[in-house]
Amino acid sequence: MSVNRPFYFGTNVKMTHTPEDTRIFLQMLTELGEELPADVRLFYLPPYTSLHLRGCSSLPSSVWLGAQNMHEDEWGAYTGEISAAMLRELGVELVLLGHSERRERYNETDEGVNRKVQAAVANGLKFILCIGETEREKRCGVARETLSRQLKMALHGLAACHLSKVHIAYEPVWAIGEKGSSAPPGHVAKMHAWIRNVLEELYPQESASVPILYGGSVNEQNCAELARTPLVDGLFVGRAVWDAENFRKVLYLSLASRMDKIES
């Protein structure tokens, strides 16, 4: 597969990220979007309370503002929940689905993620689908089974004509957050190859363009190697880029490494 594919880079910022923090990020992303090569796509997923600022920004089309979650139903008695149509009305173009923190702490099931996938597509939203094995699943040798199940169940019933909305983030649960440490590039390459095979099994003709990102403790030290790992189409970064300047720094280190790989 060509390394000359679009490169995706973005973050889901923490719960305490305020609208003022979002203003700073949007300003930085607008500048970045204008200076970066056309094949770079950036995404930024702030808390719900910042999404209205989409309307006050002039983000270029290569930068997507997204939500960290949404409810799967169009309407109903769900106090406190946010629907896909509500996101759409704010100008949001992307939504994160199935993050492991939601699967673990809010009991999100594969069936529930599938309903969110259907709702996202019905409302014209692109989505990033997070999949990844736990430490125990890795230890017991069933990581691939987990990835297959999560992928097949989340995408069940999704017509191939909607594949342009789909972005996969491989985020091993053991690699995410303060207690995690990044997956070794060799492991990432193997798992991305597996995910690519499952996508091909599901959509034999059309799946090649679906990007597969890696996430889990990406930082300034390891981003260059991960960005040039085979079959990695982008990086999904947390803590290391919650500060706007660090976002810029880690992005540029990743892009430089990617560029070296294309030239060598």
Residues designated as active site:
99, 171
Q: What are 53's two structure tokens?
A: 């600022």
Q: How far is the CB of 122 from ligand PGA (least distance, A)?
A: 26
Give 13 or 59: the residue with its C-beta nearer to ligand PGA. Answer: 13
Q: Which residue is nearest to ligand PGA (CB)?
A: 238
Q: How far is the CB of 136 from ligand PGA (least distance, A)?
A: 18
- In sequence order, what are the beta bridge partners of 41? 8
Helix (H) or strand (E) holding 127: strand 126-131
Q: Which residues bind ligand PGA (CB under 6 A)?
A: 12, 171, 176-177, 180, 215-218, 236-240
List, in order, residues 6 or more apart from 195 with CB less than 8 Å away. 131, 147, 151, 168, 170, 212
DSSP letters for 47-99: -GGGGGGGGG----TTEEEEES---SSSSSS-TT---HHHHHHTT--EEEE--
Alpha-carbon gap, residue 262 to 264, rounded angstroms: 6
Q: How far is the CB of 237 from ligand PGA (least distance, A)?
A: 5
Give 10 or 112: the residue with its C-beta nearer to ligand PGA. Answer: 10
Q: How far is the CB of 182 from ligand PGA (least distance, A)?
A: 8
Looking at this protein, which amino acid is placed at residue 7?
A: F
Contact 246, 254 (CB under 8 A): no
**Count of residues making up the chain:** 264
Give 206 or 225: the residue with its C-beta nearer to ligand PGA. Answer: 225
| Residue 18, SS3 per DSSP | coil
Q: How far is the CB of 218 from ligand PGA (least distance, A)?
A: 5
| Residue 23, SS3 per DSSP | helix
Alpha-carbon gap, residue 68 to 74, rounded angstroms: 17
**Among 65, 134, 79, which Cα is nearest to 101's?**
134
User: Which residue has 């892009």 as its token pair?
Assistant: 255
Give 13 or 87: the residue with its C-beta nearer to ligand PGA. Answer: 13
Give 202 or 237: the residue with its C-beta nearer to ligand PGA. Answer: 237
